[in-house]
A and B are shown apart, each in its own frame.
Chain A
Amino acid sequence: MKFEGIELVKVNDYMWEIPKAGKMIVPGVVFSTRKMLQDIVKDDSLRQVMNVAHLPGIEKYSIAMPDIHRGYGFPIGGVAAMDMDRGVISPGGVGYDINCGCRLLRSNLELEDVEQQLDRLGAALFTNIPSGVGSTGKIRLGRTEERDVLSQGARWVVKQGFGSEEDLERTEDGGTFQGADPDVVSDKARKRGRDQLGTLGSGNHFLEIDLVEEIYNPDVADAFGLRGGQVVVQVHSGSRGFGYQVCDDFLGEMVKYMREKGLDLPDRQLACAHIQSPEGKRYLKALACAANYAWANRQVLSHFTRETFQQILQTGPAGLGMDLVYDCGHNIVKIEEHEVGGKEKKLLVHRKGSTRSLPAGRPELPPVYRDVGQPVLIPGDMGRSSYVLVGSENALNLSFGSTCHGAGRTMSRASAKKQFRKRDIRGELLKRGIRVFAAGRATLLEEISEAYKDVSEVVEVVHRLGIAEKVAKLKPLLVVKG
């Protein structure tokens, strides 16, 4: 069947193949229902899935998650795994916000413990956590400290007393991306990152107080420390200006590399270098610095959050029980072992708007989750819900241990602002019990639920495919937006 000139072959109700055409090295595969495809084909994202299939060394297929939408170069919601020797690494396959991701804090609190304090909590979080355009943090990094953040990530933050060893155990890779080398990072990137540690940022970044609304898998939920009616906190942020600049710097370098090597790809934003080339190796070291910056950032943000809860609710850390459930990125590359053609093989997996989803038993998992599987955090839009999933076996068979990352936009920011300009979004959400604290009205218009796909539909697809399984559904109570 053809959608907008792109051939799609149905594999099953949730999986479609885009056959190889032209110079594609592998086919494409899209995880979606037929209904959702109607929206997906409206933008250019399937063409981008095909473009990614041209990258040297790509294995099996170029993958699109159900929350796919148009990016630049790679689609957002795209996965591409590369052979370590023949393959390339692409800054566009990670995105500007390197290691942007989510973390989830549990608590001992229930709705009645916070209900009367929500306005105060929101106001205090909004004050204590710098957010919005150009926000600067309370932490000023000296030259040595900056190197430590870039090399050690969340571990350095915990050493400063902003968190615990348990936080690190429950952060992907222990909160440190190995192999970081601050010397390969430009002064420009350092400049942009220097005063932004501990800031939320703007756009779709947020901090949310949620209520666990539904539990789908009680055993796994229990292992994650989650139960119905519980108050939890989600943080969605990334590597701020530091990561954006690292991406920009290396994109420029790789455009040159491609020209020198005569590499011809359908889109300049797919600029890449071979993983084993000096350019490729340097990018990986710089990416590691940015990944560490993002983990450090989210660790600082959770420290401010805990402090704010203690201050407003007048309760100590033990009483609040705000332990980290997990922290994982969704704009990243990882070197992992996966089965290709019946053999285990080391691969470099690009996840651009896709979350790692590993089942029980994988060596990458921290001991606390090794018998359960990885917590997978899927934030939704500010008016509907978010999900906690668990990594499952089929993700290894189908998607190199990857799953979706969120709702995915269906409408541009500009159209949303124009179309909904008369709506009282703050008031509408409040009627539904959701308080919003945001610097400007523009962000609220851009981030309105109608501009996003329904995250529940997205999650249903990955659950049915078994590339992550539903554990809990979260309902927003209070949203802090940049």
Chain B
Amino acid sequence: MTQYKVLPHTADLRILVEGASLEELFDRAGESLVSIVVDRRRIRKGRKKEALIEGEGIEDLFFNFLRWVHFQIFGEGFLIRSISGRLERGERIYRLKAWGESFHEGRHVLKSEVKAVTYHDLRVEKRKEGYAATFILDV
């Protein structure tokens, strides 16, 4: 289930995610954020959530999307097993569905606390094949 790489960064966690399309990149990045915090294989797809994320440009949208995923975990206690979304209105909206369940002590073990997703050095880039994103988590 490893979909991401941890790159060196002195204080925090720097994450690299790749995807064949921008949508796959977004979904994988969101799922990776969950995987960093909790064993995603233990999350059941009991509940579906829908959301509409807005941003000014692709990096802003990506940042706001990751902030949404982060708040689901640390604010709502909703752990996400999988995400599927699509870009709309150019690259200003991400409309998504997320499947998962509420945090259950006993079944889910939180591995690390992520304070926030940071905007610092956040990049979404087109590569020869597909897309790549790097972002830093404050842990």
Chain A residues within 8 Å of B, Cβ to Cβ: 43, 45, 69-73, 76, 92, 96-97, 132-134, 188, 191-192, 201-203, 241, 244-245, 247-248, 251-252, 255, 259, 267-269, 271, 409-415, 440, 442, 482
Assess the A412–B75 pair: CB atoms within 8 A. no
Assess the B75–A191 pair: CB atoms within 8 A. yes
Assess the B10–A43 pair: CB atoms within 8 A. yes
In the complex the two chains form, what is the Cα distance from A96 to B70 in whole Å?
14
In the complex the two chains form, what is the Cα distance from A133 to B103 in whole Å?
13
Chain B residues within 8 Å of A, Cβ to Cβ: 6, 8-13, 37, 56, 60, 64, 67, 71, 74-76, 103, 110-113, 115-122, 136, 138-139
Assess the A133–B113 pair: CB atoms within 8 A. yes
CB-CB under 8 A for A267 and B111, given A409-B11, A412-B9, A415-B8 = no
Assess the A69–B11 pair: CB atoms within 8 A. yes
CB distance from B51 to the nearest CB of A (A): 14
CB distance from A90 to the nearest CB of B (A): 12
Cβ contact of A268, chosen from B76, B111, B120, cutoff 8 A: B120
Assess the A252–B67 pair: CB atoms within 8 A. yes
Assess the A72–B120 pair: CB atoms within 8 A. yes
Cβ contact of B138, chosen from A72, A259, A411, cutoff 8 A: A72
Assess the A96–B138 pair: CB atoms within 8 A. yes
Cβ contact of B10, chosen from A192, A268, A410, cutoff 8 A: A410
Assess the B115–A244 pair: CB atoms within 8 A. yes
List the 10 closest pairs (A to B, CB-CB), nearest first: A72-B120, A269-B120, A133-B110, A72-B118, A244-B115, A133-B113, A202-B113, A96-B115, A134-B110, A268-B119
In the complex the two chains form, what is the Cα distance from A241 to B138 in whole Å?
12
User: Residue among A268, A271, A442 with the most chain B CB within 10 A?
Assistant: A268
With both beta carbons as reference points, the residue of chain B lying nearest to A271 in the complex is identified as B119
Assess the B56–A259 pair: CB atoms within 8 A. yes
Q: Which residues of B contact A73 (CB under 8 A)?
A: 118-120
Listed by A's residue number, 16 A-B pairs whose Cβ atoms lie within 8 Å are A43-B10, A70-B11, A73-B120, A76-B11, A134-B103, A203-B113, A244-B138, A245-B75, A248-B117, A269-B120, A409-B10, A412-B8, A412-B11, A412-B13, A414-B6, A414-B9
User: Residue among B60, B67, B112, B139 with the most chain A CB within 10 A?
Assistant: B112
In the complex the two chains form, what is the Cα distance from A245 to B115 in whole Å?
8
Assess the A248–B10 pair: CB atoms within 8 A. no
Q: Which residues of A contact B116 (CB under 8 A)?
A: 96, 244, 247-248
Known: A70-B9, A412-B12, A414-B6. 20 other contacts (CB 8 A): A45-B10, A70-B10, A72-B138, A73-B119, A76-B11, A97-B115, A133-B110, A133-B113, A134-B110, A134-B113, A202-B112, A244-B116, A245-B71, A247-B116, A252-B67, A259-B56, A268-B119, A412-B9, A412-B10, A440-B111
